[in-house]
């Protein structure tokens, strides 16, 4: 176990140049250092991944022997923001019991779609370096477009969950056909992004796909928090290979 190991340790598979395609732009990112810092009393370790574009900070909820992992990202608010009354930390801790690792990624530039996809892809590479062979992505608001873009560039992604997603930047969703199961969730009382946005993305998505519109729920989906948590976890467990339903 790497618990208690604060000094950087080599991640040879990770520290090569990562090539990331975003909105028809090819970006090369060079990771230079990885630090994993245990957090007393928390279910996660902090992971800092230094690259030539800055440092991407993550919270890593390790599951022993996990072959599947989930990356969760927020919206333009930045930080480790989460929809659904703490959906992400709850989901991350719960998935550990299902032998699924989880990584929450904090964007370096939360209003920039391209840089946010880069952060997400770097987080995915970290999970891959930990032995993860099937990945699920969960994103809220701008993060919906982020996870769709990130999924299009990585064949290990098998599940995409977009919550209150924007429509802009979601074009690559059609390229996930036959590879990733897509769940879209929106509230009909969302005054930030219309639920029509999720409906439009759903229309362009191939099966397996599912669209849930919660009555009376706003952009953060707090009003539907309990049902949201059940819905997202069930979709991940159903479609991530190697997991028990």
Give the range of the structural domain holding residue 91, as residue numbers without chain letter. Answer: 60-239
Query: Rounded CA gap, 69 and 136, in Å?
Result: 6
Residue written as token pair 């997603």 = 165
pLDDT band at 6 (very low <50, low <70, confident <90, very high): very low
Whole-number average pLDDT of the chain: 92
Whether 28 is in a domain gets the answer: no
Whether 22 is in a domain gets the answer: no
Q: Which two three-digit tokens encode residue 44?
A: 């996660």
Instruction: Compute the average pLDDT of residues 206-225.
Output: 98
pLDDT band at 229 (very low <50, low <70, confident <90, very high): very high
Whether 3 is in a domain gets the answer: no
- Which domain CATH number covers 99? 3.40.50.1820
Reported pTM: 0.94
* Integer angstrom CA distances of residue 39 from 3, 4, 46, 90, 91: 10, 9, 7, 17, 18
Whether 44 is in a domain gets the answer: no
Q: Which two three-digit tokens encode residue 182?
A: 């897509």
Whether 220 is in a domain gets the answer: yes
Instruction: Compute the average pLDDT of residues 120-135.
Output: 95
Whether 101 is in a domain gets the answer: yes
Whether 219 is in a domain gets the answer: yes
- Per the structure, how many domains does the chain have? 1
Question: What does the pLDDT read at residue 118?
Answer: 95
Any idea what the Cα angle at residue 176 is, between residues 171 and 181, rounded to 5°? 115
Cross-strand bridge partners of residue 57: 48, 106
Whether 234 is in a domain gets the answer: yes
Sequence-ordered list of residues with C-beta below 8 angstroms from that of 155, at least 6 positions apart, any chain: 179
Reduced to 3 states (helix: H, G, I; strand: E, B; else coil), residue 225 is helix
121 within 8 A of 78, measured Cβ to Cβ:
no
Q: Is the pLDDT score of 11 beyond 60?
A: no
Q: Is the pLDDT score of 162 beyond 70?
A: yes
Q: How many CA atoms lie within 13 A of 54 on its CB side?
A: 10
127 within 8 A of 103, measured Cβ to Cβ:
yes
Query: Rounded CA gap, 127 and 121, in Å?
Result: 10
Query: Rounded CA gap, 175 and 58, in Å?
Result: 27
């Amino acid at each position: 176990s790497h618990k208690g190991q604060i000094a950087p340790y080599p991640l040879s598979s990770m520290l090569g140049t990562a090539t990331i395609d975003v909105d028809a732009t090819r970006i090369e990112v060079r990771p230079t250092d990885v630090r994993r810092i245990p957090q007393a009393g928390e279910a996660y370790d902090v992971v800092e991944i230094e690259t030539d574009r800055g440092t991407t900070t993550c919270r890593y909820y390790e599951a022993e022997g996990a072959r599947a992992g989930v990356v969760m990202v927020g919206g333009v608010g930045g930080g480790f923001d989460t929809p659904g009354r703490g959906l992400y930390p709850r989901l991350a801790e719960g998935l550990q019991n299902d032998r699924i690792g989880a990584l929450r990624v904090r964007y370096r530039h939360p209003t920039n779609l391209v840089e946010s996809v880069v952060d997400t892809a770097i987080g995915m590479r970290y999970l891959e370096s930990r032995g993860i062979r099937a990945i699920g992505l969960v994103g809220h608001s701008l993060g919906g477009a982020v996870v769709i873009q990130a999924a299009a560039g990585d064949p290990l992604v098998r599940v995409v969950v977009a919550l209150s997603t924007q429509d802009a930047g979601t074009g690559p969703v059609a390229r996930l056909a036959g590879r990733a199961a897509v769940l879209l969730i929106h509230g009909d009382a969302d005054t930030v992004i219309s639920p029509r946005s999720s409906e439009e993305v759903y229309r362009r998505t191939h099966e397996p796909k599912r669209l849930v519109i919660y009555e009376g729920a706003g952009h953060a989906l707090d009003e539907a928090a309990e049902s949201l948590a059940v819905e997202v976890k069930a979709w991940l467990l159903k479609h991530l290979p190697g997991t028990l339903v």
